[in-house]
Amino acid sequence: MKPVRTAARAMLASIFVAGGIRVLLNPDASAATARRVTDRVGPLLEKVDPRIPTDARSLVRIKAVSDVAAGLALATGHFTRPAAALLAAGLVPATVAAGRQDALRNLGLLGGLLLAAVDTEGRPGLRYRTSHAVDRSQRSMRRAVRSAKRDARIAAMSASAARRLPG
């Protein structure tokens, strides 16, 4: 399953790496499309921190850099779950900005990214491991209590028997 998973991640990441590089080389083409979203988000970003760039060209370049970095991380198998989550989060405003023309394609990409974001590669997830660790520790504690009670009974019987012996 590992070769299939590796190939699928590389194929999924390739569109983001290639698209990010294309936008970095020519950000003005994408900035015009992104203005639908950046004009609404810009005032909110200014309220959060005035140092954050709010113009469409800068925001498109920031997204392109994050797409390339996260795409490379996903393709190489490093930080795959956070990288997929970052790409999925960036895909939502891109879909809104692009409108109907890329909506279905982006919806398919979003589905693949969501699968990659929750993929544990066949290993149990954190929730499973935590709940099972709690169960194991509770069982271990119950065994220890039973063992301590049994040892206490044996010690009490030994002490009682020792008192009855002469001498």
Give per-residue pLDDT as tens, 77-124: 999 999 999 999 999 888 888 877 788 888 899 999 998 888 877 777
Whole-number Å distance between alpha carbons of 59 and 76: 26
Write phi, then psi, for 128 (nearest 5 degrees): -60, -50
What residues contact residue 13 under an 8 Å CB cut-off, 6+ apart?
Answer: 70, 71, 72, 74, 75, 83, 87
135 vs 20, 83, 127, 129, 142, CA distance in Å? 46, 32, 12, 10, 11
Tokens of 45: 């970003």
154 vs 147, 151, 157, 158, CA distance in Å? 11, 5, 5, 6
- Helices 80-98, 2-25: crossing angle, 10 deg rounding: 50
The structural domains of the chain, with segments of one domain joined by +, span 2-118, 126-167
Global confidence as pTM:
0.70
74 versus 129: which is more confidently predicted? 74
pLDDT at 39 over 90: no
Whole-number Å distance between alpha carbons of 31 and 20: 13
- What mean pLDDT do residues 140-158 have? 93
Percent of the chain with pLDDT over 70: 99
Q: Hey, what amino acid is at 84?
A: A
Give per-residue pLDDT as tens, 1-10: 588 888 999 9
Tokens of 96: 């809104």
Give per-residue pLDDT as tens, 54-84: 888 999 999 999 999 999 999 999 999 999 9
Give per-residue pLDDT as tens, 17-30: 999 999 999 999 88
Q: What angle is formed at CA 73 by the lines to CA 68 and CA 78, rounded to 5 degrees?
A: 170
pLDDT at 1: 55
